[in-house]
Every structure is written in C-alpha cells, then in structure tokens.
C-alpha cells in the first residue's frame, strides 16, 4: 500500500503520493443533493440528485486515456508558453512533486513544477448546490511569474444515458452562453428526457436546471464550444486554446458543450495567491438571479473557508458517535473513520454512481438501501427515518416492493427477486433499536399502488408477502433470483426454492417476534413463532446435507450446494445464515461453519462458493457464466464474508471471527497493492480468489453492502456494543490475545465510555460489568437503568472471564 500512499496521522485522510496508481482511486464530494465523484487526478463527474436524469458533467469510464474528463485547472507560463496541470491529468506533465489527500467529502491535490507550488481543494459546501475548486499558487522561484489560468469541465447537461448513446442528436439542444455583466458562464439543454426513455413517449420539456461556472478572479476569456477549445485531433492534454494562450469566447446554441474559463495571475517571487472556481446548478426559473447570488456568495473567499470548516466539523461530529481504541491499528482506522465514511457514501449513492457503477441504469436499490442504513443509523438516525418512509412508498399493498426505484423521477423495476421485500422489516427494526422511537411505527405512508398503512403495517405486509410465497415444503420460492442476482434461472417457473431466502425469512420472523413482544403484541409474537418453527423445521428436514446446508433447488427439484454436486457443492450464504437465523442447532452450526473453513477459506477470507463453476449451466444462470474465481462464481465476495464474521461471533469463536475480519480489511491485500488495484481505504465488493490467475485483484469498490455489515460486525459483534430495544447490550467476542480495548458510543442521548479488560484471555463471556461503579446484573444497560443519571457521560467497566 505504501508504494502509492498512506493514511495521515489522524487517519482522516488517505495521502496518495504518486499519480500512477493501478486504477483511479476515487473519493466523493456531496451535500446530499449535489454530488460528485473525484479521482486522485481530478477525474470524475458531477450530478444533481440523479446521476442519470440530472447529470452535470461527463466521465468516460472504460476508454483511453483513463479517467477523463474531469475538473481541470491548467497553468500556463506566459513567458515560456509551457503549461501543466497541478492535478497531473490531463496534461500528464512530469511534476516535480505530487500529492493527493482524500478526506471526508473533500479532496486536496497539490504539486510543484517549474518554481510554482499549486494546490486545488475540491468540495461541496453544505448549504448550496455547487462544487468549489479552491486554488492556491505560490511562486517559489526568484523571478516574477505571469500565468494564464484555464479551468475546464466537459458538460453532459441532463440525461446522462441519452448523452452517451444519442450524443449526435442530443447535442442539438445544448446552449452555453457567457453573461458579461456577472462574468458567469451558463449552460442548459432545451430538450430533456427522464426515466422512461424516448421510445415510450416523446419528451417535450427542457432540463429543469442551469449549470453555472464562475471564478473569483476576473475572467479574460471563455469557451462553451468543445471543438474550438480543444482543437481538431487534440484532447484535454493539449487544448489549442491553452497552447495559444487564448480562449475563443465561444457560445453555442448547438454542439458539444463545455465550461471553460480563462483568468490570469502575476506572482512576485515568494508571493502566494488564492482564488476559486465555482461549478454549480440552479433551478431553470430565475436562473440568472439565483446563479448570480450563489456566485457572489462564494467569490468571497472567507465564505469558502467558512463552508469548508463547516464541512470538516460536520463530518468530525459524524464519525465521533463511535470511536474505538483496540490493539489493532487497522481496525481502529476503519471503524473510527473510513468504514463509517464509506457507509455514508453507500447511503447517499446506493449502487448508482461510482467508477464501476456509471449512474446510468440502476436507480436506488431497495434491498441495498435497507442495508445501507446500518451505518448512518448511529450518527444520523433522522436520515434513516426519512429513507425508510421513502422506501415504504415503493412497497405495494400486497407487500411486494420494487427491486430498484427512482426517487428523482418516480417509478421503479418490479423484478420479482424473492428477498427484496424482506429487507424493509430489517431496516425498520435497526432504526427502532437505535432510537427507541416506537411512535414511528404509527406514522402512515402510501403504498405505491393504492391505499396507505402505518410503518408497522408495512413491516407486516412484507413478511406476509414472503409467507404467501412458499412452496409446499414451506421453503421460499427462488423466483428470478435472491440476494445472489446471478442465480437467476433456478426458479423462473415458480418451483425452485431458495434455502438462503428461507433462512433470511426465519431471521426476520425471529426479530419480529422480539419486536412484537416488546410493543405488547402477544398475538403477533405467537403467530410469528409458529411460522418460525414451521420454516426452521423445513430447513432442517430438507436442506441439511450432512455437513452443511444446501443452497436451493431449481424448478425441476434438482439441488445446488450439495456434496452430490460436481461444482458449486457448498455456498457461504446458507452456512452463515443458518447460524444468524438460529435455525441450526449447536452441532449443525459448528459443522457448517467448520465446512466454511475447510472448503472456502482463502488468504482474503472465505469464497462465496466451492468448487467454482467451470461450465455454463443455463439452468442456474449468470453465476456459471462468470469466470471461475471472479464475481459470484467463487470470488471472495465481501458481503457474505461479513455474514461469516457475524456467524462466528454468534458461535463465540472470537479468534476465527477476528481472523476473517483481519483478512478482509482493504489495507491487507493478498498479494500486493498493484494486484489488488482498487483503493486500500474502503471495502470492495469482491476480491478474486485463488481459482483465477489474477488472485488478489479486487473490483467494485465503495458502493457495496459489505461496508455497512463490516462496520456493524466490528462494533456490534467483535467489540460487542450493540443496541437492542431495551437499551445497550454488551457482548464482546474478541481474539483471546487481546488484553483490553475501549469503545466510545453515543446512544439515546448519552455517551458511553466502555472499558473492556480480558485478563485471562477468553474469546467471550462477561465476569463483571459495572456502570458508573454500580454492578449490573446481566449485560443490557437498559433505558430504565440510565434514566436517573443526569450526567451525559456514562462509564462502563467490563471484565471478561
């Protein structure tokens, strides 16, 4: 990892020390409305609310040169005509010094070249819908420097997919013009398609936004025409306008749109100057006044600094709701900063906008969003409450739900994935355990089709839908896929069975039993208890294979995930969830998780299945079309890896749980960072397993459900500090060699300082527990226990033994 970078001393920045990383290492800038992805060389794109329907700028993903276009500033020495970019891209100049600092929703790139030290800070202020490029340049040479300064971004303006696939026609509706009085470049599109696509109904509307681009320095030139700024047979690396030192002052009513501004600066020896470029968006109505007001506000560089300080303070507060101090520095780095940060990104971006997800297709995943709330529920439960209320409105009256939905434009995709509806009860119960806001259960929202229901009724509807879709053997129907989207042809005729969905249903039933009992619904608890026993019995009768649990059956009744199969004999999901759901007794739980160790283990954690499929089986689906060792065909898929960690904690095997957790950390590549390729500071979706020659190569970083589960694995189950309806449960499951650790956790208005000692070296089991020096019977610090304590800080002392 240190070949390309390292964490800062406070762990809140990852510092990249050379631009030629194995792949673009990206970060995010966002205020929850205006969003951007930015790479370590300033590549990436921006959008307002929807990366598909309201895209601001372009980014080409899989073309060469890599990682273009982006948010570029190019400096040109007026005397020599030499020009370069402080971010390395797009000019790829051999800089004398380079550094990129990715922080929590900001990126700072700095460099030195020919006596000029320059830095560019990129961030989105919390209160307004724009991104700020704060530039500082200093003359380190003995001579005066006169510089031309060019700022450039390539514009999409509206529907990103239409811009990509129909650009020759779509560009006819672009308009870019420069307002000379305000010195602001404005751009928009007169024709805008959202969601449904042109083939369904001809659109008859303009994009409802205007983009603006401005500078705090006086503007001496501009361009809205890409062809004129770049020049024929050139690229962003050598624009003709930069080479000649003069923009064309072009405006367009049709054509390929860009936003380019030219300013100038003179620096005496040793002099430093600061200025800003402002790229943002305002509503189409009254865009001139709205845009001018925002630009005027941030041309004041004091306001730029104030907004940046506000951003830093906001995210410092966010991560300080949980802080840990363990013997493992990497674990501390992830749990204290980067894992928390990544879960905020997955919450905001779902699986919709990243280097691997182009923001063109998926919208917001229902299943994904229900899990993404696991991170923000601790520091920002109000976000989670709003999101859950949103998701209930994409549920149908019969309890089914859209698999993907589009909050910006409305609608969704009803795919029939058998697990999708069941994630909503999980999200609701996570929120309730964190907040004890049981009044939330009585809030009403509409179903997507017709009628309305309370949140509690939405929860029951999801469970009832799953119960109504069982086979005669009381196992869940597979449908066109479950959590594993690539097992997509096992149950298309309605007879295939998903053992994993059945286990997940059992888990939701067990959790719902606890909820019903807590809120006094004994009838509901009894009803769900009967269903749980029926389903758990079916799993153990039909799905136990001797040493582990099978994965499912196809429409013909043929089993997958069995010792009798030649390939795909064992799947990780059903072993972990047999334990998590409680359907496996102790002997079977130990047996199936031992089988995980014996058959699935790798240096990066357990594989998703073994042996990988070597032949395409149309009756199973896409998993068998993936090459062995990648994606769902035998990769180390971090999402189920996180469930394996959870299962081992439930079994009390702290050394095994921590061992898997340690292997899976992103800063621990199996081979080296060049093979790993992706960012070493956030989780990736999967790591290629030893079943493929590129073992150790990771992919699909940032936007993965594994992030939220890994966070809760670490805090809730390994360190053992987790919320329950009654209060805060203390239940560590740690490696025996650990002697002590500390967790600081804000919970329901109090801050808990939890000190854990392990003098005799056990994995699990509490000998004594004191709260403010008072012995506590049991291991739940209840709200009743705490209510009479007036101070905000509560000290908890735990001794294992």
Q: Which residues are catalytic?
A: 485
SS3 426: helix
Q: Secondary structure of 609-657 in the HEC alphabet?
A: EECCCCCCCCCCCHHHHCCCCECCECCEEHHHHHHHHHHHHHCCCHHHH
710 in Cβ contact with 397 (< 8 Å) = no
The residues, any chain, with a CB within 8 Å of residue 62's CB and separated by 6 or more, are: none
Residues, the chain? 801
Of 302, 371, 262, which is closest to residue 713 (Cα–Cα)? 371
CA dist 273 and 265 (Å) reads 8
Strand partners, 266: 146
CA dist 102 and 514 (Å) reads 42
CA dist 104 and 414 (Å) reads 35
34 in Cβ contact with 43 (< 8 Å) = no
By the 10 Å C-beta count (0-12 exposed, 13-18 middle, 19+ buried), 42 is classed as: buried
CA dihedral of 237, 62, 250, 294, whole degrees rounded to 10: -100
CA dist 447 and 458 (Å) reads 8
Q: How far is CA 501 from CA 308, 337, 498, 505, 507, in A?
A: 45, 33, 5, 6, 10
CA dist 179 and 156 (Å) reads 20
Q: Please report where in the chains the tokens 């100038």 appear, as a residue.
A: 264
Query: Could you tell me if residue 88 is left (phi over 0), alpha (psi between -120 and 50 degrees) or otherwise beta?
Result: left
Strands 793-800 and 750-757: parallel
């Amino acid at each position: 990892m240190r070949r390309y970078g390292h964490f800062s001393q406070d762990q809140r920045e990852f510092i990249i020390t050379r631009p030629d990383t194995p792949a673009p290492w990206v970060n995010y800038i966002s205020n929850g409305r205006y969003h951007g992805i930015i790479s370590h060389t300033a590549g990436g794109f921006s959008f307002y609310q929807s990366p598909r329907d309201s895209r601001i700028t372009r980014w080409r993903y899989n073309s060469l040169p890599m990682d273009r276009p982006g948010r570029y500033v190019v400096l040109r020495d007026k005397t020599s005509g030499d020009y370069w970019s402080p971010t390395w891209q797009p000019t790829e100049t051999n800089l004398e010094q380079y550094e990129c600092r990715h922080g929590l929703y900001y990126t700072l790139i700095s460099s030195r070249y020919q006596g000029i030290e320059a830095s560019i800070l990129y961030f989105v202020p919390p209160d307004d819908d724009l991104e700020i490029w704060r530039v500082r340049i200093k003359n380190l040479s003995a001579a005066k420097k006169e510089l031309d300064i060019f700022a450039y971004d390539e514009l999409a303006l509206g529907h990103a997919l239409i811009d990509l696939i129909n650009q020759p026609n779509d560009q006819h509706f672009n308009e870019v013009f420069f307002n000379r009085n305000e010195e602001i470049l404005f751009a928009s599109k007169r024709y805008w398609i959202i969601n449904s696509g042109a083939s369904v109904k001809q659109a008859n509307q303009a994009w409802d936004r205007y983009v603006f681009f401005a500078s705090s320095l006086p503007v001496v030139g501009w361009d809205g025409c890409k062809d004129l700024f770049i020049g024929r047979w050139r690229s962003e690396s050598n624009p003709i306008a930069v080479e000649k030192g003069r923009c064309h002052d072009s405006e367009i009513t049709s054509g390929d749109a860009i936003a380019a501004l030219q300013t100038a600066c003179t620096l005496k020896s040793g002099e430093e100057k600061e200025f800003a470029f402002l790229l943002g968006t305002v509503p189409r109505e009254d865009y001139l006044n709205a845009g001018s007001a925002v630009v005027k506000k941030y041309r004041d560089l004091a306001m730029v600094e104030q907004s940046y300080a506000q951003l830093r303070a906001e995210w410092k507060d966010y991560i300080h709701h949980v802080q840990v101090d363990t013997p493992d520095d990497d674990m501390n780095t992830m749990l204290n900063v980067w894992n928390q940060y990544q879960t905020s990104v997955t919450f905001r971006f779902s699986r919709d906008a990243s280097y691997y997800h182009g923001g063109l297709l998926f919208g917001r995943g229902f299943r994904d969003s229900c899990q993404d709330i696991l991170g923000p529920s601790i520091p920002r439960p109000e976000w989670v409450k709003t999101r859950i209320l949103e998701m209930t409105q994409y549920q149908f009256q019969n309890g089914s739900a859209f698999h993907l939905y589009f909050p910006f434009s409305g609608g969704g995709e009803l795919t029939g994935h058998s697990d999708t509806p069941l994630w909503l009860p999980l999200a609701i119960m996570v929120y309730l355990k964190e907040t004890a806001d049981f009044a939330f259960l009585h809030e009403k929202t509409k179903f997507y089709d017709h009628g309305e229901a309370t949140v509690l009724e939405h929860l029951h509807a999801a469970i009832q839908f799953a119960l109504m879709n069982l086979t005669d053997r009381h196992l869940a129907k597979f449908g066109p896929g479950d959590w594993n989207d690539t097992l997509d042809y096992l149950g298309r005729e309605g007879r295939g069975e998903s053992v994993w969905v059945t286990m997940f249903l059992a888990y939701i039933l067990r959790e719902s039993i606890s909820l019903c009992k807590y809120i006094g619904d004994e009838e509901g608890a009894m009803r769900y208890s009967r269903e749980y026993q029926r389903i758990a019995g079916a799993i153990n009768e039909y799905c136990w294979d001797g040493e582990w649990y099978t994965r499912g059956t196809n429409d013909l009744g043929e089993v997958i995930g069995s010792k009798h199969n030649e390939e795909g004999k064992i799947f990780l999901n059903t072993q972990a969830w047999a334990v998590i759901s409680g359907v496996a007794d102790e002997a079977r739980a130990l047996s199936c998780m031992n089988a995980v160790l014996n058959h699935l283990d790798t240096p990066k954690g357990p594989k998703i299945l073994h042996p990988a499929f070597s032949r395409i089986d149309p009756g199973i689906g896409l998993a068998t079309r993936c090459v062995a060792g990648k994606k769902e065909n035998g990769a180390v898929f971090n999402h189920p890896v996180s469930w394996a960690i959870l299962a081992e904690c439930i079994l009390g095997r702290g050394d095994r749980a921590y061992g898997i957790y340690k292997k899976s950390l992103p800063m621990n590549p199996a081979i080296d960072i060049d093979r790993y390729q992706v960012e070493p500071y956030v989780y990736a979706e999967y790591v290629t397993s030893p079943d493929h020659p590129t073992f150790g190569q990771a992919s699909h970083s940032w936007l993965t459900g594994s992030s939220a589960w890994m966070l809760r694995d670490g805090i809730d189950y390994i360190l053992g500090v987790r919320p329950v309806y009654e209060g805060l449960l203390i239940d560590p499951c740690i490696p025996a060699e650990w002697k002590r650790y500390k967790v600081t956790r804000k919970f329901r208005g109090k801050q808990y300082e939890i000190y854990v000692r392990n003098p005799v070296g056990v994995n699990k089991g509490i000998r004594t527990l004191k709260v403010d020096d008072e012995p506590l019977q049991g291991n739940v610090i209840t709200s009743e226990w705490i209510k009479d304590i007036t101070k905000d800080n509560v000290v908890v002392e735990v001794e294992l033994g």
